[in-house]
Amino acid sequence: MGRAYAARRNEDLGPHDRSNVSGLSAHVRRRLLREDELASAALAAHGLQEADKFIQEVCWRTYWKGWLEMRPSVWADYQAGLARDLEALERDGALARRYQDAVAGRTGITCFDAWAGELTELGWLHNHARMWTASIWIYTLGLPWRLGADWFLRHLIDADPASNTLSWRWVCGLHTPGKTYLARAGNIARFTGGRFQPGPGELAREAPPLADDPGHPAPAPLQSGARPDPAAPVFLLITEDDLHPESWGVGALDIAGGAVLDAKEGLSPLPRGAAAQAFSASALEDARQRASDAFGCAFSTKTSIFDAKQAVLNTPARQIVTQRPCQGPARSALDAAAPDIRSAGLSLIELRRDWDRAFYPHAGKGFFKLKQAIPAVLRSLGLH
C-alpha cells in the first residue's frame, strides 16, 4: 500500500503475477472489505504521504459512485442506449460478426485477444489493460462503446455499474468532454514488460471524442439517508452493493428477519460470465450466512424485490432497512418496487455510510476536487 504500490501499480505483469496490485477490488466493490478499513490499514502502515496513491485508487471508486449518484439519468441513458445497440446487433450481420470476433478474442490483435481471454476466463483485468481494451474496442475495432461496457459489466468479478459505465464514457470522451484515451503501442509494450508489442498500423492513431451524448445533467441533491424507528421491528434487506450488514450500526434494533437480494437480472439483457456469476453467488451466500449468525434469525435469498416484500409481510416488521445502493440493478429494482412497497404499508429506510456521506459531496465535478479533499475527509472520519 506504500511506495512499492505507487512505483509499480501501472504495470500489467500478466494474469499469473499480480504482486504489484492489491487484487481486492471484487471484495471492495461489494464491501466485503470496506473503504475505511483499507484506508486505515494503509495509513497505519505507511502514513498519508507514502500511502497516497493507494488511497487515491480506493477513492476513485467512491468518486465514480458519488458522481453517478448525483446524475442517475446517466445510468438510465446507458441502459436505453445499450438496448438500441443490441437491437442493431440483431439487424446488422457485419456488426454482429465483428462483435463476436472481439468478445471471443479473434481480432488478430494479439494483446486485445489475450485480454479478451483473461476477461472471459478469469473475470479480471489490470486497470491499464481495461483502458487499452476499451480504447481498442472503440477506436481500432469501431464497435459501440456500450456493447463493450456491457461485456465488461457481465464478465468482471469486480464489475460496478458506476465505475464501469463512467470509465468507458471517459475513454470515449463523454465524461470529461473532449478528453479521450488512445491505446498506444509504446505504452502497451512498456507497461506489459514487452509481453505485447503491437506492430505499426495495428492500432488506431487517433481517438476523436464521440458525439452521441447530450452532455452532463445538472447534479441532483444527495439524499441524506433516513433512520429506522428503534422501537419497531425491522427487516434487513442486503444487496450486492453492501454485503457487510454487521457494520451497518443496526445491532441494537429488533431484527425480525431479512433477505439477500440477488438483482443480477437487472445487470444486462445478456447472461453474466461464469467467473463473475460464481464470485457473486458465493459472496451473496457468504453474506446471508453471516447475517443469520450475527442477528440470530433466518435470512433468505430472493431474486425479486417483490418476493422480498412478501417475505417482509410474513414477519412482524413493517420497515425495511437497507444500505442505499448506488445506480445499478439493485437501485433500479428498489425504485420500481417503491409504489408497491408503500401500498403494502411498508416503509423503506435507506442508510448511508459515513464514508459515502463524507466523500460524495466532493464528487460533483472532476476527480481532482475529491482528491484535494482526501486528507480533510479522512480526518473528519477519524482515520487520519
Query: Parallel, antiparallel, or unpaired for β 255-261 and 347-351?
Result: unpaired
Report the C-alpha gap between 376 and 384 in whole angstroms: 8
**C-beta atoms surrounding 292 within 10 Å:** 15
Contact 301, 285 (CB under 8 A): yes
C-alpha cell at 257: 428477519
- The DSSP H or E segment spanning 155 is helix 145-155
- Distance from chain centroid for Cα 159: 5
Q: For residue 202, give Cα distances in angstroms to 102, 129, 164.
A: 15, 17, 26
Is-contact 265 303, C-beta < 8 A? Answer: yes
Write out the binding residues. Answer: 54, 158-160
Binding residue positions for FAD? 54, 158-160
Q: Going by C-beta distance under 8 Å and a sequence separation of 6 or more, which residues neighbour residue 321?
A: 228, 234, 235, 236, 237, 248, 250, 253, 349, 351
Q: Name the CA radius of gyration of the chain, rounded.
A: 21
The C-alpha atoms of residue 147 and residue 246 are separated, in whole angstroms, by 37
Rounded CA-CA distance 227/204 in Å is 52
CA distance 171 to 344: 44
